[in-house]
Chains A and B, each alone.
Chain A
Amino acid sequence: MTIALGLLARWAHLACGLGLLGVVGAMLLAGPSAGPTATRWMSLMSSLVRWLAGAVLLSGIATLAGQAAVVAGRPGAALDPAIWVRLLAQSQFGTVWLVRHGLLGLLAALAVLREREDSRLDWAAWRIESWLLAGAGMAAAAWAGHAAAVEPLGLLAALTDALHLVAAGAWLGALLPLAILLKHASTETGADARPYAVLAIRRFSRMALVAMLAVVATGLWNTWVQVGGIPALVGTPYGWLLLAKIALVAVVLGLAAHNRRRLLPALPGDAATVGRPAMARLSRFLGAELGLGLGILALTAGLSLTAPALHDSPWWPLSYRLSYDAAAGVPGLNARLFLGGQMAFLGLLAAIVGWLAGRRRALFLAAGGVALVVGLWTALPPLAVDAYPTTYLRSPIAYQASSIAKGQALYAAHCATCHGKSGRGDGPGGAGLPRPPADLTAPHTGQHTAGDLFWWISHGIPAAGMPPFAGALAEDDRWDLINFLRALAAGEQARALTPLVERERPWMVAPDFSFSVGPAPPRALRDARGQFVTLLVLFSLPDSLPRLDRLARSYGDVGLSEAELVAVPTDADPHILRRLGANPPIFFPVATDGAADIVSAYSLFSRSPGATASPPRHVEFLIDRQGYIRARWLPGESGKGWDDLEVLGGQIRALEREAPVVPAPDEHVH
């Protein structure tokens, strides 16, 4: 109920505010006139401005009440003066509200206490001032909306949104005054205003074209910023509202195009047979546009109260999705894509040429349309892969060592029976199933979205005999499991890592981890982002002692000192410092807390090229400043290794010199 009232208030406020902008704009477009009908219209518009100015203030107060109820979380707070004061004094919404209503209040005062208009200067001064006040008052709303929260381009987003509002007002708001003017002018008694009305509507037509382009361009930009992709557009409430809004805008644009092409040229025609009927018709069509426009504003009010799709988890409505990556490797795929794409492109071209040429339009359109459909029909089906409602769901649990470790324990308890201890689908429980359990280490695992895995784990795969786990595992547990599966598949690829950095080719995301040394506060790998290269050393005593000895003595030497060294005992002994002893002194961090999670996650990345057995007792990783594992050294591997500290120093310097080539990895599985 409160939501509905809040929505109504926002809608009314938006409609009245944009109406003010449009009505004053229409008066300015039409210009002063001494004709009796035009004068009557002008004074009608002036009183409309007074009413709208009153209504915009009242509805503005109602939006404040609505916001108070939303902020306080209870309907009763809508009329609580204490909440109002807090809201106005201490929130961005309040500041923007005060500024906007100050401006709108001035506008109302100017409209209500209007002095005589003695000259054209007076005429123009009042209207231009009113238009500027209404424009500033409405445009400022952008600073209290979703646009102001955009990072890092908040100012640009707000300016774009402000332009969107002003352009929409100039266009939609002018529809009502012009419909009224045309209605007056189309009657017998209003004939004196016909040239005036025709001139006004022509000016409006030119201005509206620019305004529509601005509305569409800024709207598309807003969509990109607030939605970000197809799944969010079709899978979230924000996306649905936006789609409905776009559909309505398309209808209005179609109507406007019809008016411009068909009715506008007919207006100056013979009064009785062509001009006046066209005028009356245009008046009705403008009315229809206005009705749709009010619908668009209702959807806009809804959008302003809905979380932007970018911050929402999309719920995919189709049973398939199109993905080149997931379909890659299907024989003949590229040939079909190329052929179909070309055909669709030619079809589109033919349709456009036919439309523009005007001759044999139907033939061109039909042929182009057929080619387009056949082309798409050829190209798209091979790209379709199965999808589920949760396919584009984002994991709420970050890809980090602690989650992977939890997932590993859950895997051993719930999944290993069928999928096998190492994830190869060779568990004893999988023998009698209708389909053999999936090999979770195979490269294709990475081609399914995290959301796909979430669906399979939650609901099972009935045809394959996989049971659902929604009852047995909490949602967070399932995401931990998915983080583990990602690390498992990535670990399989990690066999390709060598001690030498591949220049500018980061591909293996390092799971974040945190550790602490004694009572010092915990530190995370993330903290090194953009700062320094990390050398992660997993060691076991006593085998690793000579190596640690070497690292400790060289710590601070050129090369090694440019990286942050983190040593983690594989046995996760909290007394590891005592065991390492005093000689040589070790000054780099040695994890006394958090080691267990790091070891279980990074062991997955520690398998040597041939072996499947347990992870080695000592392994070192180089992690670049963006958070990617770039090189790995297993003692005893053939070839150049880090037992030569010169080689290690060279790799660190190479990473130090490298400019970031890809963005830092997302913290969540995709």
Chain B
Amino acid sequence: MRLWRVVLLMNMALGFGLFLGYLAWGRPYLELERELGLSRQPAPPAVERAFSTRGVVRAVFPDRNVVVLTHEDIPGYMPAMTMGFPVQEPRLYEGLDIGETVRVTLRGVPPNLVITAIARDGKP
């Protein structure tokens, strides 16, 4: 075979190899990227969920039935921050002091969660 044809064939083989590589890895990768983008779009399904977290009490508003906590990360729901949560019934926050560390349980369909239990943590 003529040498220039060998070279040409080889380059075509290289190009073909790159194309196969794209088909085998590149395209599925792009597809996965697209699907990942799509899967991030829709809101999480509307089912009731429960979370538990620790926080320090910053304020209690009995007239609005709200306790404000500076809390830890709530995995799957929100990062650590200072935020007010509605409480299921007033007796849960009776006798609670500002600065107390508590463990709370949150229930509901995100983002409408209410505190259903408050336990004193003991530690400052």
A interface, CB within 8 angstroms of B: 106, 110, 114-119, 121-126, 129, 517-521, 574-582, 585-589, 592
Contact = CB atoms under 8 A, between A and B. Distances in A.
B58 A122 contact: no
Contact of A129 (B10, B60, B97): B10
Contacts of A125: 3-4, 6-8
B68 interface: yes
28 contacts: A106-B14, A114-B3, A115-B1, A115-B6, A117-B3, A124-B4, A125-B3, A125-B6, A125-B7, A125-B8, A129-B10, A517-B56, A518-B101, A519-B56, A519-B71, A519-B72, A519-B101, A519-B121, A520-B81, A521-B72, A577-B57, A582-B59, A585-B58, A585-B68, A585-B98, A586-B59, A588-B82, A592-B56
A520 B7 contact: no
Interface string B24-35: 000000000000
A8 B121 CA distance: 64
Contacts, number: 99
Nearest to A520: B80
B95 interface: no
A576 B28 CA distance: 56
B4 to A, nearest CB: 4
Nearest to B13: A106
Interface in B53-81: 54-61, 68, 70-73, 80-81
B90 interface: no
Q: Dominant SS at the A interface?
A: loop
Given A118-B2, A582-B59, A575 B68 contact: no
* Contact residues of B: prevailing secondary structure: mixed
B7 A110 contact: yes
B24 to A, nearest CB: 15
A586 B81 CA distance: 14
Interface residues of B, number: 34
A520 B74 CA distance: 10
A577 B99 contact: yes
Given A587-B58, A592-B124, A581 B4 contact: no
B70 A520 contact: yes
B7 A129 contact: yes
Contacts of B57: 577
Given A129-B7, A518-B56, A520-B56, 7 more contacts: A110-B7, A110-B10, A115-B6, A520-B70, A575-B99, A579-B99, A587-B82
Given A521-B80, A585-B59, A587-B58, A578 B97 contact: yes
A207 B5 CA distance: 29
A519 B4 CA distance: 73
A582 B70 contact: no
A519 B8 CA distance: 68
Contacts of A577: 56-58, 98-99
A441 B121 CA distance: 47
Contacts of B4: 119, 121-122, 124-126
Nearest to A521: B80
A119 B101 contact: no
A115 B7 CA distance: 10
Nearest to A517: B70
B98 A578 contact: yes
Most B Cβ at <10 Å: residue of A115, A517, A518: A518
Closest 6 CB pairs of A and B: A518-B56, A577-B99, A585-B59, A578-B99, A122-B3, A125-B4
